[in-house]
Amino acid sequence: MFGMVNRHIIQTIQTTYGEQKWIDIIASIPEIPHFSQLQQYPDEITFLIIKKSVETLDIDIDLLLETLGRGWIKETADGPWGIYYELYGDTIFTFLNNLDSLHAALGAQLTDLSPPSFLCKHVKADTICVRYMSNRDGLTYFVKGLLKGLCEKFSYPAHVTIEQTRSDLIKYDEYLIEKI
């Protein structure tokens, strides 16, 4: 994962739980690099930070991942990446349909990017089905948080549910976004 994602995780934990809790967490991690925003780091480092955070804070991993995903949307939309939200769609459905194009554009700047892929369709007038495909395991609830964050960003009040998780036979997670 890129350093910016790891920094987001660290900042979220520090802001939510306090600096002392973060110090307790890093005390249980053998070596943690100083993350450079645009540098790629092994996923194992990110997942170790999350694992040690869950253990130290005694919180549910799914809840932490969902919180991180939701916060990631706010952070990127309000920061220097915000222009991408404007360029790739003015509704949640349009934006979701353009996520692969957005990641392709980001890949021109972030050459080590290994982006996921998304397929979206309306299954009902007020229900969007999102299929998430990635070479990374363990991000189901992070993506759920991303989708919730996008609902907030695009003022689309909705429930987000996980309908299908990846397995040996199925190589994607599937979500429903049901407008309230």
**Tell me: the pLDDT tens digits for 89-130?**
999 999 999 999 999 888 887 878 888 999 999 999 999 999
**Residue 31 pLDDT exceeds 90:** no
pTM: 0.94
Report the run of H or E that residue 174 belongs to, with start and end.
strand 173-179
User: Average per-residue pLDDT in the chain?
Assistant: 94
The neighbour count for residue 9, using CB atoms within 10 Å, is: 20
Closest C-alpha among 56, 50, 53, 72 to residue 137: 50
Q: What is the per-residue pLDDT for 110?
A: 81
Q: Can you give the pLDDT at residue 160?
A: 98
Q: Which two tokens stand for residue 68?
A: 């991180």
pLDDT at 33 over 90: no
Per-residue pLDDT, averaged over 140-155, amounts to 97
Residue of 74 and 113 predicted with greater confidence:
74
